[in-house]
Structure 1
């Protein structure tokens, strides 16, 4: 099969592994109506969180990932809240959530600081100084302990959905 893009190997990342504590952060948490500054810890107070880092809104990897998560509807069957992180700004994220029917809130992180804290920064090819998160998934328990971590090793790469589902806590 001939691809319209190059598959690029990404350098190793220094991300939190299972058993380690994920970084704390506060950023605008966006839904289809508004956004407000929220901390990761405030979300974890309600139970485990599946933190999903995607490329910028509108890029096909982000679209595909959110479509797959919507179809799988894990929040209905497992004790987990799904929350995204994107480098896109809150205005664009609100529009993307509305336009694409995304059922999950997404942290807006335009300066990519959360991706830096998690060690999942991806330098965009040919754009000096421009970064975005590489596709990554972290299952966090209520004290920010990483229960499962997956980080893309190449671009584009997509989460191993069946493997992630096997790690989700039962409802």
Structure 2
């Protein structure tokens, strides 16, 4: 039995396939440290899987990252996350999940807004997080695959993402 309500999210005009993904610079966090890094710096090294997810500690974040970790997407390309959590929260989340992935910290959800995927939180005026989303980017930041949640909670079709990763790399 589901102990939460599934909520439909409004339509969104998000970044789509064939478009150049907006560049941004935010703190990129590992389990040891963080530093400002741009998305362009990462895509210069090759394809990137950009994963937007709810704040650390929310159950969808745990499920999404456990699945990505277990499927070892990082073996094929760079995988990075984006959420509204602080660098301190990210360090704890990375350690607790046993993740080898880096996470961008975007507390004001500016990046989620640029990508067209804001999710205002009910009952919290002025507070939002990105809705769950996955964007695969080539070395020029061109989007080759895009999935954006249409309801909350919603999770990517992991097999479809893997097929898109295989086609990209």
Of the three residues 83, 101, 106, the one matched with 1:104 is: 101
Q: Give the distance between the partners of 2:64 and 2:53, measured in 1 at CA.
A: 8
Secondary structure at 1:158's aligned position in 2? coil
Q: Give the distance between the partners of 2:124 and 2:152, measured in 1 at CA.
A: 15
Q: CA RMSD in A?
A: 1.0
CA displacement at 1:125 relative to structure 2:
1.4
Unaligned 5+ segments in structure 2 are none
After the TM superposition, list the runs of 4 or more consecutive aligned residues in structure 1 that deviate by more than 2 angstroms.
none
TM-score w.r.t. structure 2 length? 0.96
TM-score w.r.t. structure 1 length? 0.95
Of the three residues 108, 114, 119, the one matched with 2:116 is: 119
Secondary structure at 1:29's aligned position in 2? strand
Q: Which residue of 1 aligns with 2:16?
A: 17
Q: Give the distance between the partners of 2:5 and 2:124, measured in 1 at CA.
A: 16
Q: Greater shift after overlay, 51-60 or 12-21?
A: 12-21
Q: Give the distance between the partners of 2:6 and 2:38, measured in 1 at CA.
A: 34
CA displacement at 1:29 relative to structure 2:
0.2
State the aligned residue count: 168
Q: Which residue of 2 aligns with 1:64?
A: 63
Write out per-residue CA displacement over residues 2-26 of structure 1, whole angstroms, 9 at most, x where no aligned residue. Answer: 3111000000111111001110100
Q: Give the distance between the partners of 2:74 and 2:92, measured in 1 at CA.
A: 23
Alignment of 1:17-96 (within 5 A): 17-76=16-75, 78=76, 80-96=77-93
Q: Give the distance between the partners of 2:82 and 2:133, measured in 1 at CA.
A: 10
Q: Which residue of 2 aligns with 1:3?
A: 2
Secondary structure at 2:144's aligned position in 1? strand
Secondary structure at 1:96's aligned position in 2? helix
